[in-house]
Amino acid sequence: MKRAARGFALLAVVYLIVVYTIPWPSTIKPGGAQLTGLFLATIVGYIIEPIPAAALVLIAITISAITGLLPIEQALTGYSDRTVWLVMTAFFLSRALINTGLARRIALTFVRLFGQSSLGVCYSLGLSDFVLAAMIPANGARAGGVIRPIARSIAEIYGSTAGPTSRKLGSYLYTAVYQSVCVSTAMFYTGQASNPLAARFAAQYGYSVTWLSWFVAAIVPGALSLLVIPWIVMKMDPPEITHTPEAAAFARSEIQKMGAMNRNEKITACVFAIVCGLWISSSWTRVDITAVALLGGGLLLVTGVLSWEDVKGEKAAWDVFIWFGGLFRLGTSLNDTGVTRALADAVASQFGGLGWPSLFVIALAIYYYAHYGFASITAHMVSMFPPFLAVLLAKGAPPGLVVYGFACFTNLAAGLTHFGTTPGPIFFADGYVDLKTWWKTGAIIGVVNLLIWSTVGFGWWKLIGYW
């Protein structure tokens, strides 16, 4: 209780500072300052969590309605947004992938095929997460629930456990696989829960982002990152064991124990293929991707792969629904009241002598390394993406370059620390990697990703006409 009280006291201070000490311009509509204070206090609360984040967001939405900052009908509109329903439904689809064992079978199959060496094992697990990211928007569920247990089992086969023997194999697998997870998280619209938020913010400026356009943007720089990261980590933290035939044998044995694909796995695989196919072709068919996700969920319910009890019990989905819808509405209100534009004008005035290219480089570097102060990709994206987007678009920067640059870099930056996104604490808690090694690896791979995505990535986006 004391911790919660101190947390709420800090949030009250944040609100008062924002509302009463900032000289707000006359262009701000009534209530803009108060909504900004409420929004920023919610973001700080999302980081320190005096109570669960979803509960905090729901309270903030309630306050906005009670105080008259937003009519109750407007305060709740975030929960009717199609993107919110897309993310929630994708969690139900991912539950089927995990519950039926199909996700684990996919990962084990890659290890069986390519796991003859420690480098191959790492590539296999990274590729597994890449495939699952096409459907599962919870990187914690993918990496923590499917990938990490396999990585740990393989490490333990070779007698590598937390402590003195971690460097045999486990330390390398954990750091390299985690960095790969951060890349695959950046490669898909569904890579993690808040990626669609970037698309929604971009839409407010008339720029459309689809599942396919995101994938096309990320596939070239992402593939290069997934290729070089395990090799670089191996040079930095070489495992004592490099030849791992037992890993492939382990995967083969586990697949044999699972037996042939059962009915539910086959149905889930078909639904997976249908949903991904319709998402990819949505630009041509004009079928909304949220409707596609709902179709997939309906098929799983009709066929009995998922029960309604499964849907009701998917706590992560309902948790995301509450905080996603609420944060989206609060963030939108800042744009509606002119706060985002005023912030953009204020920042732009400080860099009046710079053209958009110079400002873009500076802003992207600040944005990227600011993640050292965030324990959540969502908090980082919601608090910094909209104003940076507004500033650079006001300067005349190409929308595609700015949108995909900041959206993808938010996810890549999660690899800087052991707490940058949900899988980080899960991996770190196993004790295979000490803090110094984790942060050193994060710093170096962070630079590698910056170089790859800002050269090959930006060049690729230019080639395909994104800017």
Mean pLDDT of 25-39: 90
pLDDT(47) > 90: no
Confidence band of 345 (pLDDT split at 50, 70, 90): confident
Residue with more model confidence, 350 or 424: 424
Give the span between the Cα atoms of 289 and 167, in whole angstroms.
Answer: 44
The confidence score (pLDDT) of residue 352 equals 64
Q: Find, among 144, 63, 41, 74, the residue nearest to 379 by Cα.
A: 41
Amino acid 204: pLDDT: 87
Q: How sure is the predictor about 348, in pLDDT bands with cuts at 50, 70 and 90?
A: low
pLDDT band for 306, please (50, 70, 90 cuts).
very high
Six-digit token string for 357: 């290219």
Q: Which two tokens stand for residue 56?
A: 């905090």
Give the three-state DSSP class for 406: helix
Residue 122 pLDDT: 95
Band of the pLDDT at 82, cuts 50, 70, 90? confident
Listed in sequence order, the residues at least 6 apart from 257 whose beta carbon sits closer than 8 Å to its beta carbon are none
- Annotate 360-375 with b (16+ C-beta within 10 A) or e (fewer): beebbeebbeebeebb
The model's confidence at residue 183, banded by pLDDT at 50, 70 and 90, is very high
Q: Could you give the 3-state DSSP secondary structure of residue 272? A: helix
Burial label, 417 (beta-carbon count in 10 A; 0-12, 13-18, 19+): buried
Share of the chain above pLDDT 90, in %: 57
Q: What angle do CA 88, 399, 367 make, to 5 degrees?
A: 70
Whole-model pTM: value is 0.84
The secondary structure of residue 29, as a DSSP letter, is P
More confident residue, 91 or 181: 181
pLDDT exceeds 80 at position 246: yes
pLDDT digits (tens, 9 = 90+) for 374-387: 777 888 888 889 88
Region 280-290: what's the mean pLDDT? 83
pLDDT given at position 287 = 86
**Tokens 């993406």 map to which residue?**
385
* pLDDT for res 269: 93
Q: Which pLDDT does position 423 carry in this prediction?
A: 86
Residue 463: name the closest of 401, 420, 407, 408 by CA: 401
For residue 396, which amino acid is it?
A: G
In this prediction, residue 95 has a pLDDT band, given cuts at 50, 70 and 90, of confident
Of the listed ranges 37-46, 63-72, 239-248, 351-360, the least confidently predicted one is 351-360
256, pLDDT greater than 90:
yes
